Amino acid sequence: MIEKTCVVYQAPPGFVIWNLIPAPEAGCMVIEERNDATRKVAIACVSFTGKLHWRNVNLPESWWINLNAVTNTQVMLRLFESTANPDAVRLIALSLTTGEVSEIAPESAHTIQPLRPFVYVQGEPEFETVQKFLQQQLRQMAFLGAEYLETESQIFISYYTGQPAVFTNVLACFGRDGKLHFTEEIGTNLKGMGVGTFFIETNTLFFVKNKTELVTFRIV
């Protein structure tokens, strides 16, 4: 059974949620936000229930920086030192507790790996299997690719329908018997496929909707 909860976090006006890494042992999520108009990056830490712990908008680099990994105590950022050479990068650490810049701890090599779905790209046999399943169950043709995750009782699929440059990203949940539990459009007017569109933690499904809202479904 799945109980719909609510939007647990909303990106500030002008910003979109670009990347998201959960830190299960700390009970929180680290979010990378980007504002194309101001060319500004922010990093935020939010609890699984949506409480904002901190949000750092004064990073060492305003734009050429991104979220790389999360450990038990630190947030690892990757700073690009040359726009002409993508290999010229260095790591910067923020405290997971306060969001302030800190020295990189030895444990930082051991990052927390979130539970993510398998990614199947159009043309791969696994995608064709998912495509046939969706066509049979929903009478919809999927394109581009899909993200697929099975639990003991559910199957979650993030897939794409529509036409080039205006694809719609749909998240669907099925029982192991193939019965549809829910579907929800989580992105529209998309030019391509996204990766990491959802994850599951503490019996809760987390996904980003329309690039600005972090939404949860409680799985009970």
pLDDT of 86: 76
Q: List the 213-219 sheet strands across, edge first.
A: 2-10, 213-219, 204-209, 198-201
89, 76 in Cβ contact below 8 A? Answer: no
- pLDDT value at residue 204: 85
Which CATH topology does 10-109 take?
Answer: Thrombin, subunit H (2.40.10)
Residue 196's pLDDT is: 86
| Cβ–Cβ < 8 Å for 38, 14 | yes
Contact of 204 with 219, CB cutoff 8 Å: yes
Q: 147 with 132: CB under 8 angstroms?
A: no
> Which residue, among 146, 123, 122, 151, has the nearest Cα to 134 in the 3D structure?
146
Closest C-alpha to 146, from 162, 136, 157: 157
Q: By the 8 A CB rule, do 94 and 54 touch?
A: no
Q: What is the per-residue pLDDT for 3?
A: 63
Distance CA 189, CA 71 (A): 34
Residues forming CATH 2.40.10.480 domain(s) in the chain: 10-109
**What's residue 218's pLDDT?**
81
Could you tell me which residues are beta bridge partners of residue 28? 23, 47
pLDDT (tens place) for every residue of the chain, 220 residues total: 556 668 899 999 999 999 999 888 888 999 999 999 999 999 999 998 899 999 999 999 999 999 999 988 999 999 998 877 878 899 999 999 999 999 988 765 455 566 689 999 999 999 999 999 999 999 999 999 999 999 888 999 999 999 999 999 999 999 999 999 999 999 999 999 988 899 988 788 999 999 999 998 887 6
- Residues 212, 11 contacting (CB under 8 angstroms): yes
Predicted local confidence at residue 219, as pLDDT:
78
